Structure 1
């Protein structure tokens, strides 16, 4: 009997404020086209101290669990590279804030932007092994490079939570069919004690593309061997859509050109048209939030399905996850019949519309803050309120 495992439900959370990317460009004396066209950005989420990794994760999880029996859960994994404690997991905070069952496996997964996928794959394998339970996998991060730095326009923040189960109402994963690629590189890192990450930008792009080529080859070999796709012609075109890890939206185009070259022995003929059909529909949400590190791939997936789920039912999509340092994975899944209904329940558009646009001056003031500056929470959200006796405190509305 075929194992059916995948994403049953999801929820997203983003900070309450954002800065328009054109406003940021003008404030820095830069042609806005460099950010809008060169990076593919529109808006950048701005997280103030009260909207930390835990608060965003718990808010996304609360939304994902609407209508889900919490006693059905047996695992909680948070993928993050912006944790709040050197020992206590973000997942531990979330477990307590949501009052989840004590009989759960609870932990964080860290490997740069790949951590969420590590959690997803662990959950899939755990369910396939016969756990009899569902898993809650959360990707939550705050991407910060600092004011007026080269990486400033590629910042962002947010969280996405996914209920992974044997009832995949959104996306049924092709279990056991994926390709992985890893290498020891210093393309992006954040030393202990540093708020901002260090990045070798051009080198990181090349590391990403090398990893994509290696991971895609592995997936392609397995997919052909299992007769998931035909081996003749462009195998990548057997995928209706492809979602990539999106540190900035233009990276997805670079990735797609490189992927076609893998199929065409170095030729990228037809890349523009293919990108518009297979990839561009997944970038709308990412362009309005910015980099969410572990969540970037899954924000692309959520954005794609929010826009096109009804027309993609029964079709296979590819997903590529990359974590600097580096490790990566290419995998795939089929859009489920109830995907449009379930993604509508996530209210992605409503959540974005509730945000407030702020000025660049306001953004800079927020970036300089260490402690939360107000104690209010939007309905249904969690908030970090401060530290008492070395213990982080949270509240919810």
Structure 2
């Protein structure tokens, strides 16, 4: 039995309230809070990047045993900090994991962390006495006053994969699909993504529908075999758009259960925003931490991972006995409750602040005064990124 033994998320200490942003933009707040299902959006200070967020998510999980037995570190990201050096190599150093671990990044839009999880599960099945650290970490940016502004966000999810996991066993059968399309992409020369929103929504729904048919055919499983389905959530209404069509012929009791648990799975994303590769696993944490009273061991959870461009996969897992004892619900509630609500002016200033690197590749700065995280980005020296730890 191999699966997720521990799981945690991190998001920056600052956010913008989307009702306030809507009023400032001259938009009906319901368009954001009801139309796409978002309430708050995490906004990272310059001292938080893909590396520091990944370290902040992983650090609370690690025991001495983990540090000595993690032989694989995989980071899924589409907002890496270097065109060559992996985020995982920074993480290996910052977390002081033993020197003989393999450390790599995987990139395919929002699918990267799922590719990493599957790689890690296969690795541990071959090496049952070893563990793997899988991280999805990203900053989603489309620009101020852009059409995608309210589907931005920032955060990271870290998972330890092991034999005899304490949270969920990943089942062996999964189905993936690839089509080369341009629904969302970011050329190397662009700081923000290019999005065909309508086409992207259609592709997401189509991929889920096709994969569900194929998955059902290969496994002979139906929706009655599932207690919940977790989705990649660029915004919280997206997964529901894909789920509803396959629920049309379901018995009311099963339909109601899946829709109720879907709502539980959206709570964290609603208050954090789109975190790209970590989004699906943020959904999973939201589900098991908010619906824990109704979920029990052996309940099957479905996962739909989608990365524009496009690659998607349906896979499943079964909750294990005692999974509730390994959840970090109180820590997550504290993290979200203690965040700072930015004014529109502060949001604009924080969003537009950039590194001003001189010809020698230098720009060092102090940790942002709002940033209370353990790991933080300090700037560059001789073109090398530097990180601090509190």
Give the TM-score of the pair, scaled to structure 1. 0.91
Q: Secondary structure, in 3 states, of the residue corresponding to 1:69?
A: helix
The count of aligned residue pairs is 380
- Determine which of 259, 262, 265 is the counterpart of 1:282: 265
Residue 358 of structure 2 aligns with which residue? none
Q: Secondary structure, in 3 states, of the residue corresponding to 1:184?
A: coil
1:343 aligns with 2:327: yes
How many angstroms apart in 2 are the aligned matches of 1:69 and 1:236?
A: 36
Q: Spell out, residue by residue over 1:179-237, the C-alpha distance to the aligned partner (whole angstroms, 9 max, x if none).
A: 1111110000011032111100000011111111222223222322xxxx4xxxxx123
**In structure 2, do the counterparts of structure 1 residues 239 and 297 end up closer, same or farther at CA, with 3 Å as the change threshold?**
same
Residue 191 of structure 1 aligns with which residue? 187
Does the 8 Å contact 1:169/1:336 carry over to 2?
yes
Does the 8 Å contact 1:77/1:119 carry over to 2?
yes
After TM superposition, where is structure 1 displaced by more than 6 Å over at least 4 residues in a row?
267-272
How many angstroms apart in 2 are the aligned matches of 1:159 and 1:391?
A: 22
How many angstroms apart in 1 are the aligned matches of 2:37 and 2:124?
A: 37
How many angstroms apart in 2 are the aligned matches of 1:127 and 1:215?
A: 26
Residue 380 of structure 2 aligns with which residue? 387
**In structure 2, do the counterparts of structure 1 residues 38 and 104 end up closer, same or farther at CA, with 3 Å as the change threshold?**
same
**In structure 2, do the counterparts of structure 1 residues 270 and 198 end up closer, same or farther at CA, with 3 Å as the change threshold?**
farther
How many angstroms apart in 2 are the aligned matches of 1:251 and 1:321?
A: 12
How many angstroms apart in 1 are the aligned matches of 2:293 and 2:93?
A: 36
Does the 8 Å contact 1:44/1:153 carry over to 2?
yes
Unaligned runs of 5+ in 2: 356-363
How many angstroms apart in 1 are the aligned matches of 2:133 and 2:312?
A: 21
1:1-397 to structure 2, matched below 5 A, reads 4-66=1-63, 68-130=65-127, 132-174=129-171, 176-224=172-220, 229=221, 235-260=222-247, 264=249, 273=256, 276-314=259-297, 315-344=299-328, 347-371=331-355, 374-375=366-367, 381-397=374-390
How many angstroms apart in 2 are the aligned matches of 1:168 and 1:142?
A: 29
RMSD over aligned CA atoms reads: 2.0
**In structure 2, do the counterparts of structure 1 residues 67 and 36 end up closer, same or farther at CA, with 3 Å as the change threshold?**
farther
How far is 1:300 from its partner? 0.4
How many angstroms apart in 1 are the aligned matches of 2:151 and 2:168?
A: 28
Q: Secondary structure, in 3 states, of the residue corresponding to 1:366?
A: helix
**In structure 2, do the counterparts of structure 1 residues 201 and 259 end up closer, same or farther at CA, with 3 Å as the change threshold?**
same
**In structure 2, do the counterparts of structure 1 residues 67 and 104 end up closer, same or farther at CA, with 3 Å as the change threshold?**
closer
Unaligned runs of 5+ in 1: 230-234
How far is 1:66 from its partner? 4.6
